[in-house]
């Protein structure tokens, strides 16, 4: 799938606000890929597609988790977690996409221990794209300017703090990713 094909698909799939967020993620992922020497075309494509399933029917997404043998724990946490792994599966079913791109889409919400540099770029770009304006986003942008790994840790900390304040369950993979990156010297 080319970037332009992905662009057409996303423009017709997502509502305006989410489409604008997506363009911000594309621009930011491209910038980070250049800065950190990763594949710019893969970063742009993963960013364009990352929220493909964001507004899909929750029951249908739960069904995909079961059918595809994805981690059944996904059904016991917030529904917000579904769109990343389910989006990757649905895209892989319909289009020819590199595993590296699918991996970045799959783990963009929680991260994953040992995630690739491309995964890290999408994970951070999603959190700091120019349309994001939550408290603390400037700190994440500053981290991303000097270290991709530091930005991953800062993003995980901000996500975990946000979930704690909301008193919702934290998906184990989010915590495992945090532990993995904090242990990395
Ligand atoms: O899809 P976006 O809004 O662009 O961003 P995202 O894919 O990072 O999704 C963010 C949402 O996911 C936000 O509502 C918090 C939720 N989330 C992230 N990590 C966890 C989580 N929800 C639960 N329950 N547990 C998590 O570990
Ligand atoms: Fe998302
Ligand atoms: Fe997003």
Res. 185 pLDDT band, cuts 50 70 90? low
3-state secondary structure of 130: coil
pLDDT in tens, 21-62: 999 999 999 999 999 999 999 999 999 999 999 999 999 999
Helices 40-49 & 117-128, crossing angle to 10 degrees? 50
% pLDDT > 90, the chain? 98
- Asked if pLDDT for residue 84 goes beyond 80, the answer is yes
The stretch 92-119 carries a mean pLDDT of 98
Residue 46 near residue 39, CB atoms below 8 Å: no
The stretch 117-139 carries a mean pLDDT of 97
The stretch 63-67 carries a mean pLDDT of 98
Pocket residues: Cβ below 6 A from ligand 1: 51, 54, 77-78, 80-81, 84, 108-110, 126, 159, 163, 168-171, 174
User: For 3-182, CATH number?
Assistant: 1.10.3210.10
3-state secondary structure of 38: coil
Which atom of ligand 1 is least distant from the CA of 162? 15
Residue 100 phi/psi, 5° resolution? Answer: -65, -40
pLDDT in tens, 145-183: 999 999 999 999 999 999 999 999 999 999 999 999 997
Could you give the maximum distance between any two Cα atoms of the chain, in Å? 43
User: Pocket of ligand 1, candidates 80, 125, 166, 168: which has the most ligand atoms within 8 Å of its Cβ, to mutate?
Assistant: 80
Tokens of 145: 């300017």
- Asked if pLDDT for residue 65 goes beyond 80, the answer is yes
Question: What pLDDT score was predicted for residue 184?
Answer: 56
CA-derived radius of gyration, the chain: 15
């Amino acid at each position: 799938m080319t970037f332009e094909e992905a662009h057409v698909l996303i423009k017709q799939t997502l509502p305006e606000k989410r489409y604008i967020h997506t363009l911000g993620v594309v621009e930011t992922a491209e910038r980070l890929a250049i800065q950190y020497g990763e594949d710019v075309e893969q970063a742009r494509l993963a960013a364009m597609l990352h929220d493909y399933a964001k507004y899909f029917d929750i029951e249908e997404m739960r069904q995909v988790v079961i059918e595809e043998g994805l981690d059944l724990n996904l059904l016991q946490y917030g529904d917000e977690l579904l769109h990343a792994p389910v989006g990757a599966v649905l895209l892989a079913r319909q289009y020819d996409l590199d595993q590296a791109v699918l991996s970045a889409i799959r783990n963009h919400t929680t991260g994953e221990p040992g995630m690739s540099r491309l995964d890290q770029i999408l994970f951070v770009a999603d959190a700091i794209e120019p349309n994001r304006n939550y408290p603390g986003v400037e700190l994440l942008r500053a981290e991303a300017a000097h270290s991709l790994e530091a930005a991953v840790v800062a993003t995980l900390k901000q996500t975990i703090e946000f979930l704690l304040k909301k008193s919702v369950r934290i998906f184990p993979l989010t915590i495992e990713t945090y532990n993995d990156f904090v242990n990395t010297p």
